[in-house]
Chains A and B, each alone.
Chain A
């Protein structure tokens, strides 16, 4: 290097420069090493973490709603299923300008401005990953028109979902209920139930419907299933770049629920009720299976799936026949004369009364300073237990009830399921009232003067009136237990869930009642239906070969009678307004000799049990005709015996009707002294 020194300092400043340049190189090197160190941390040490973050960025799962489980009747007939539903969804995270997109959509399908505004509002409040429904139930033409234009409509997807359908419309409405859009209340509940406070995104999906009532509500968790996911690759603004079918996971369909109901019986029951109001329950007396659980009139649950209009709901709600109420479970009625079976049993169980004991009925009974009337003005004469049941003699049961007192009656009523609610899998049962001295103390806790049981109350109790209240299911259970004669049957409505069988109704122990005593009552019920003097003889001839029914009619008064002491002739409510008329009740089982099916029918404001009876017969006929054993019996030619004629006497069971099997026969002919 040539020296080029012009003054002293030149060398010095060159030296400083060289040293400091060297230093600068060092600083650059150190800074580079620092950067490398940082890269080691990010790219080697924490790489795993950032890789999963990148994947979380890259992929998202679009929710695939699971198909809801079906609800089937005992024979596998679908009573709630799913149908394809073409719909249009819009996704807040994929749409560029919602207004413009909706305008474009409205070129393809009808979309009123009000609906557009509604969608825009919904888009604002819905989390971005959750789509919002633009339109449901598109026709195939509309669906394919939108589908073919889909590339021009980012964020809009034409989606084939499923929607709930109830093929039998109203027949099962009260039992299976319905599904409807998720309400704010449902969301709040879901939030509260979930410990993390997160809402299941399935609930937010526009196609999802939640069970609101009946089986749909009670077994919602089973029916719902688990949502699947469609794996999609999304860019930073959420637009789907690519679908990744290999990464999809399928939705788990909801479990199928099989009910014990029989669609044919249920449909027939709805049919026979016509425009009338009431409830009917049919049970298999061997297993406790509920074959029919009807409340009439009904409503169409399909209307609720896509959201029922306010006016329509109002109309249903305000109708005095109460179509929205499940009367079979929640309708409480005095059982009327159908309860005389219980009074009779309680009398026999007490030992204070023999079946053969006679009571003199003169049409009225004077007690406590006033007259208690029998429904038959002229009186029944001397009646024993069998004929008292057959002719539904009130005086007989006034006296019997008075003799044995309320607690014995209550005990038997309790043993037969009255005053109970049963675990049938759906909500809405009301247990009613079975009065007793103890009940009175509790019921009038704030009115000590009324806590005493007045003997006059026993009289009403004996004929199934007063404070006593039951529902149709309880009456059916009562009748089933009478018909079974042995088992304390429980009703079963849900046969199986997802293929797992629920316990049968006959698996729960025996009745604490002597079979002989039950036989007496059954014989009485047989006479009701088959003796000429029976209250239901005229109205319930089955005409199905040698199959006979055993039955009991009843009418439940809307207004006090008999024990009012001054209204001897006030019983006929035929000419009163519908709401003021008596209820007609009817319980029966068949065949008498080999009981299989029990039925209870309550005809609201039907005046008398004889009006309910023909409906019960029609329903029972379906049950019997569907049973292959019964069918072969019906189709077998009748033996050459003379047709049984009803015995002219008012008591003895017809011995020519003695059942061929080991089924019990009624009490022996009565010889006892009439009692007053």
Chain B
């Protein structure tokens, strides 16, 4: 890669120069996955664009444009906005229990004028930015083990607790794991990691018994013994397994999945869309789909690793970690390797909020790629334009 105007610090580049720097390979893969999602939503609705497939396609198209726009924003702007974004997200999270509105037994939404937003989704990006920003200014030694690490722990802990309180266990876990991943990538010493692991293993049973809500505990118990309650909480797990298993090697064909078409499969268009896909496309389809997701993650990690700035590296890797956690947890849940938590399959599941979050995330990854040679010269938090 030859040097370009982009490499020169402090200098504004013409936007048109940046367009070829966008990783079109990544954009293409994302589009492919979203296309598969639209196809599955079309099939799940009984070969109909309504109610899901058309909305999904339009939403993706808008989000794709958003991603392109975000990818052109200078990495230093992202850098400067890191803490403010985090701060706003945290404030909104605090506001949720006070002025949020309830839906399905949980307060997750804020109504701001005509639009309703989910602060926990903003936090997913905000936390990645804030941690990247923090580690950008932290030496390797401190990143390993020092009292300063209490700051990222607090940055992670506060939103995690607030989201868990809503309650939205799935998102809380996702936020916590994303934060932990960034800390590890930044150089956290393995000893502290092991200690944290042991502490978690000890704390988990107590957490499950005393802190969790009944329905959350039920989900875990049901995951461990799904056959005990085949028509109640175990129903999701069992029906998803039937959908997957009955797909066989090659699947039943598009639009012919009886489990999804006859509504035996719960949440067939959202959290369990992978099972819908598996039923109709079989093992071969699943293998390629998972491989495609894995490849997307690898490409994004590669982008992170070629960034010159530590902020860029960690931000791209953090977003990728979020994406990977979405995919892996959702798939594990659908195939029965993890308890049912409300985590959708990104880019495929129907739902606007996650789509926006993921595409904003990819916008950040692309921005890191476009501005990979940008230096954020002062690690001490100075604004650089």
Contacts and interface: CB of A to CB of B under 8 A. Distances in A.
Q: Do A and B come from one complex?
A: yes
Contacts of B243: 54
A58 B287 CA distance: 26
Given A21-B301, A25-B298, A39 B140 contact: no
A42 B278 CA distance: 10
A237 B263 contact: yes
B181 A24 contact: yes
Contacts of A36: 286-287, 290
Contacts of A235: 262-264
Contacts of B304: 21
A47 interface: yes
B294 A236 contact: no
A539 interface: no
Contacts, number: 154
B185 A21 contact: yes
A491 B103 CA distance: 80
Interface stretch (A5-13, A101-109, A652-660): A5-13
Given A17-B314, A39-B335, A51 B141 contact: no
A236 B268 CA distance: 12
A47 B248 CA distance: 5
A53 B242 CA distance: 7
B371 interface: no
Contact of B258 (A13, A17, A57): A57
A649 to B, nearest CB: 93
A539 B194 CA distance: 117
B246 A51 contact: yes
- Number of chain B interface residues as a range: 35 or more
Contacts of B375: 4
A34 interface: yes
Nearest to A43: B283
Contacts of A35: 290, 328, 331-332, 335, 337
Contacts of A233: 258, 262
B283 A24 contact: no
Contacts of A43: 244-245, 247-249, 278, 282-283, 286
B185 A6 contact: no
A485 to B, nearest CB: 74
A179 B293 CA distance: 67
A14 interface: yes
B342 interface: no
Contact of B245 (A2, A10, A29, A47): A47
B219 interface: no
Interface stretch (B164-172, B305-313, B350-358): B305-313
Given A24-B301, A35-B332, A57 B262 contact: yes
B314 to A, nearest CB: 7
A92 B344 CA distance: 35
B297 interface: yes
Contacts of A1: 308
A377 B317 CA distance: 129
B187 A20 contact: yes
Contact of A17 (B246, B313, B331): B313
Interface in B6-26: 7
B84 to A, nearest CB: 25
Interface in A39-60: 39-40, 42-44, 46-47, 49-51, 53-55, 57-58
B246 A54 contact: yes
A12 B294 CA distance: 28
Interface string A69-89: 000000000000000000000
A18 B297 CA distance: 15
Contacts of A4: 308, 375
Interface string B273-284: 000001000110
Given A28-B297, A35-B337, A13 B249 contact: no
Residues of A contacting B: mostly: helix
Interface string A214-256: 0000000000000000000111110001000000000000000
Contacts of A20: 184-185, 187
A324 B246 CA distance: 60
B336 interface: yes
A454 B211 CA distance: 95
B157 interface: no
Contacts of A17: 185-187, 305, 310, 313-314, 317
A17 to B, nearest CB: 5
B379 interface: yes
A32 B290 contact: yes
A329 to B, nearest CB: 53
Given A7-B139, A13-B186, A17-B305, A44 B337 contact: no
Nearest to B320: A24
Given A17-B187, A49-B245, A28 B287 contact: no
Contacts of A150: none
B291 interface: yes
Contact of B140 (A13, A42, A53): A13
B283 A28 contact: no
Given A20-B185, A58-B262, A12 B140 contact: yes
A626 interface: no
Name, among A17, A49, A58, A234, the residue most crowded by chain B CB atoms within 10 Å (CB to CB).
A17
Contact of A13 (B187, B241, B297, B298): B187
A35 B289 CA distance: 12
A559 to B, nearest CB: 71
B305 A236 contact: no
Interface in B349-372: none
Nearest to B139: A9
Contacts of B331: 35
B70 interface: no
Contacts of A18: 305
A234 B335 contact: no
B321 interface: yes
B269 interface: no
Contacts of A28: 294, 297-298, 301, 324, 328
Contacts of B67: none
Contact of A46 (B185, B245, B305): B245
Given A9-B139, A24-B301, A39 B294 contact: no
Contact of B141 (A9, A14, A32, A47): A9
Contacts of B185: 17, 20-21, 24
B143 interface: yes
B43 to A, nearest CB: 16
B305 A21 contact: yes
Name, among A13, A21, A53, A57, the residue most crowded by chain B CB atoms within 10 Å (CB to CB).
A13
B259 interface: yes
A38 interface: yes
Contacts of B291: 32
A7 B331 CA distance: 43
Given A46-B245, A233-B262, A38 B324 contact: no
Contact of A47 (B246, B258, B298): B246
Nearest to B324: A28
Contact of A234 (B143, B262, B336): B262
Nearest to B335: A38
A57 B242 contact: yes
Interface of A: 1-2, 4, 6-7, 9-10, 12-14, 16-18, 20-22, 24-25, 28-29, 31-32, 34-36, 38-40, 42-44, 46-47, 49-51, 53-55, 57-58, 233-237, 241
Given A50-B244, A54-B259, 10 more contacts: A6-B377, A13-B187, A17-B317, A21-B313, A24-B324, A25-B301, A34-B337, A54-B242, A234-B262, A241-B262
24 contacts: A12-B140, A13-B140, A16-B187, A17-B185, A17-B310, A21-B313, A25-B298, A28-B301, A39-B287, A39-B290, A42-B245, A42-B336, A43-B244, A43-B278, A43-B282, A43-B286, A44-B248, A44-B283, A46-B245, A51-B248, A54-B258, A235-B263, A235-B264, A236-B263
**Nearest 5 CB-CB pairs, A to B?**
A50-B245, A54-B246, A9-B140, A13-B140, A12-B140
